[in-house]
Structure 1
């Protein structure tokens, strides 16, 4: 059978998503909606490669062409998330998709093509050598929230109850109010972290394009939003790309109720695998996610230059590789951002965040 590879059209969306939903290694970021959200919120161009045999999809590779002021342009699979790369029925088709993406990058003067993926079994080093590496923290879920709660250690269950005893409650859905409250928490937390925030329009675009495959949870103390998170779904998997709490309320354990509300929803709605997102092996967020039962999977980000890998070995996404700034300069930038007025970080942050593809 003849294999054809082309750029996907909008008419391919349903077949594309149907294919993605059947792939065990797929993430919610592989869905057509991610590129649509990037395009509508930030104006970057999705270049979604699709491989077909007898008019049936047998492989996909979603990429975004990113133009950055004063920086080299790149083709990325995918920006603003941890894991994407090709999905295909066999390795040969996956390699053909990668070749096509590299050819497109060369023809359109894109300096690099980057694939973000999980390490294969052959690439994975012994876990005792993972210190400082970036990992994806993933967890298998049982069929019900009751079974999930029963599987937790007593200390974890008591932390969830502590949040409830402290007068916190969680609300889930996709309403405009929940989005506004979620974003207000994100705005406060991202300034505290010294990091630019995504635009409000970005999260609106995510909800508009993911629709039923998206869910917000906001934790409240009385009428005050103190924590918020957003999950994306694909088939029987889900991921949480964004979660935040307000530091002054952390003594009340809002993060425990936040994650429990989303994990419980997933367990009760057919989700079998939950992706807690990226962490540095052995550090704070890694330990937080481990207590829920998440297991680490090594992340690999491959950079291609003129169709060739940048190094003989895959580029492992290590701690510190997220930025080319020296530690001293990075600390100065973070400290300066934390001292800015909240309103200014809300207006300036999205203008910068658009070009930060991490």
Structure 2
């Protein structure tokens, strides 16, 4: 007989955080983004309202749907699962639980007069069955299955990849792993890289909130050329999976291959820590980041992002794309101090 369940609370109570995190930890599509640590970071770092829907069988969570309300000025609110990461989504032990949670989300979106977007790591039956959602991305995650040791991982690399990593070390680069003590050096690289890409940067308060919420499960890595940070990233550990939401390298150091040393250090850490999977994050097939991740042996896993409503017209998509390219060009020309002040003010509303 199927287990009985009930929607216990529209807003997950703090006392149920451990049950939620246990459920996410053991679910095949669980990730650090779906934990209550991400919830805390969103609240503290950006002040967004969170609505985490949970289905319970007794005291056990049997379904989850985390939602965050993003309220940009002058435009319609968005209810997103989840912002600032690759996916959130609907987890459930059976179709009845999934349907109930989805109905709760639809009601919440209607009450808030908000657009609803649910970003899943794989196709979601309840959402597909509803019929009112459209898929909004062709991006994929890049996943690497890890062997039991870093030595095994290294031996499986092609010689070209190994030589690129060795080049960084021969060029005198070093890499440190740590926590909040490395955040300033990380941010020094991150802010410049994001400005050069034409994208508003996350505020340091957001990244500080991430480090505090995840604790030892968040690891900062910085590659140095002498005393100068040349590349940096942050990984989040969740069970036997490691995800890398942010990584950057400074262009003037590209010839020294700092990015290769950064990723190798993270991969070595993950393999030697007993992790079985490394999530390189989302990419568009055929683009540069996709090829970079693929060279490590990562394989694509298509993302299933769904938005409630009708598809945007081709004209609208072209207009949005043109506007985005124009804004990127303007942003690249900003002085770094100005980009660092303005960026976080805008980035809290850019939920991708």
Aligned residue for 2:320?
325
Q: Aligned partners of 2:116, 2:333: CA distance in 1, in Å? A: 36
SS at match of 1:282: coil
Aligned residue for 2:331?
337
Q: Of residues 85, 90, 96 in structure 1, which corresponds to 2:94?
A: 90
Deviation by residue 1:187-244 (Cα, 9 ceiling, x = unmatched):
1101110110000000000000000111110000010000000011211111101000
Q: Aligned partners of 2:226, 2:266: CA distance in 1, in Å? A: 20
The question of 1:248 aligning with 2:243 is answered no
Aligned residue for 1:115?
118
Gaps of 5+ in 2: 129-136
Cα offset, 1:120, TM superposition: 3.3
Cα offset, 1:91, TM superposition: 3.0
The question of 1:146 aligning with 2:151 is answered yes
The question of 1:202 aligning with 2:206 is answered yes
Go from structure 1 to structure 2 and tell me whether the alpha carbon gap of 1:69 and 1:324 turns closer, same or farther (over 3 Å shift).
farther
Cα offset, 1:65, TM superposition: 1.2
Cα offset, 1:331, TM superposition: 2.8
Cα offset, 1:95, TM superposition: 2.3
Aligned residue for 1:13?
17
Aligned residue for 1:191?
195
Q: Of residues 60, 63, 68 in structure 2, which corresponds to 1:59?
A: 63
Q: Aligned partners of 1:273, 1:294: CA distance in 2, in Å? A: 10
Deviation by residue 1:279-299 (Cα, 9 ceiling, x = unmatched):
110111100000001111111
Summarize the alignment of residues 275-286 of structure 1 with structure 2, pairs less than 5 Å apart: 275-286=279-290
SS at match of 1:2: coil
Summarize the alignment of residues 193-232 of structure 1 with structure 2, pairs less than 5 Å apart: 193-232=197-236
Cα offset, 1:324, TM superposition: 5.7
Contact 2:90 2:124 in 1 (8 A): no
Aligned residue for 2:131?
none
Cα offset, 1:113, TM superposition: 1.3
Q: Of residues 4, 14, 17 in structure 2, which corresponds to 1:2?
A: 4
SS at match of 2:320: coil
Deviation by residue 1:172-196 (Cα, 9 ceiling, x = unmatched):
01032x1000001001101110110
Deviation by residue 1:107-152 (Cα, 9 ceiling, x = unmatched):
2222x111111343999xxxxxxxx931111111111111111111
Cα offset, 1:334, TM superposition: 1.4
Give structure 1 regions of 4+ aligned residues with deviation exceeding 3 angstroms. 119-123
The question of 1:48 aligning with 2:52 is answered yes
Aligned residue for 1:126?
none
Cα offset, 1:30, TM superposition: 0.4
Aligned residue for 2:348?
354
Gaps of 5+ in 1: 124-131
Contact 2:221 2:232 in 1 (8 A): yes
Q: Aligned partners of 2:104, 2:260: CA distance in 1, in Å? A: 44
RMSD, aligned α-carbons? 1.9
Cα offset, 1:158, TM superposition: 0.8
Q: Which moved more, 1:86-95 or 1:237-246?
A: 86-95
Cα offset, 1:338, TM superposition: 1.1
TM-score (norm: length of structure 2): 0.91
Go from structure 1 to structure 2 and tell me whether the alpha carbon gap of 1:21 and 1:119 turns closer, same or farther (over 3 Å shift).
closer
